[in-house]
Chains A and B, each alone.
Chain A
Amino acid sequence: MKWLLVLVIVCCNAAGDLLDASGMKRHGEVRDFRPRHVLRLIWELARNPFIVGGIAAMAVAFAAQMSLLSIADLSFAVPASASSYVLETVLAKLVLGEHINRTRWIGAALVACGVLLLQV
């Protein structure tokens, strides 16, 4: 059960980030932050299936995280959320076609190691 929840958390977080990222790329660069434009942007995003799906996936991940906290230690899921930084960088390359140079790989790996150490 614990491992199933970890799997759900990792997959839903990754799916949520990928959906949000591709939904926002499809929307195009946000350039105007005057209140009227921001309200229209929020209305558009609420009708964008990628964004709605992405936020729904994040909500599922959040609910799974809460359930996991009720049956296991906080530290149990930390290695999984740390490795998400590397996993999602790989997915950004494969799915979104981003060019990950060496600096970015090193940065993502440093962040993953750092998150792992926070629990020590």
Chain B
Amino acid sequence: MSHHITDPRLIRRKSAAFAALAICCNVSGNLALSAGMHQVGPTLTVELLAYLRIIHNPLVDGGTALLALGLFANLSLLSWADLSYVLPVTAAGYSLSGLLGWAVLGEHISPGRWIGIALITAGAILVGRTQPRTTP
């Protein structure tokens, strides 16, 4: 009677929004984390716990927070959407980080990599057009 299950049309939009949130958080989180780790230097990475106590690098902290938010968005998405929907759709993060590396950091992208980015994007869009939930 009452609205216990969200309208199928709304589910699509809600799924797209949470997938986008998860992708953006993961890509920016990884970017911040790797930039922060380069600032800190490689010597400390083995002693992770000591590192957590001693160093407070804003990029590492921010990156970790973004990854935690990405995990939360991903888990929320899985509470109503299929795993076989979530995995290919969030793989678009590979394309986004490749494109950001090219546009922002000026990284060179080989022709094979461009094709890879195009295939991943196409796969993510195709799966994104299917009904997010197929189980009762």
Contact = CB atoms under 8 A, between A and B. Distances in A.
A103 B87 contact: no
Q: Give the secondary structure class of B's interface.
A: helix
A45 B79 CA distance: 11
A2 interface: no
Contacts of B119: 110-111, 113-114, 117
Given A55-B71, A92-B87, A98-B134, 4 more contacts: A42-B72, A92-B82, A118-B113, A118-B116
Interface string A40-54: 001001000001000
Interface stretch (B29-37, B53-61, B123-131): B123-131
Contacts of A18: 83
Interface string A66-107: 000000000000000000010011001100111111011011
A119 B113 CA distance: 7
Contacts, number: 133
Interface of B: 5-6, 71-72, 74-76, 78-80, 82-88, 91, 94-95, 98, 110, 112-113, 115-124, 126-127, 129-130, 134-135
Nearest to B129: A103
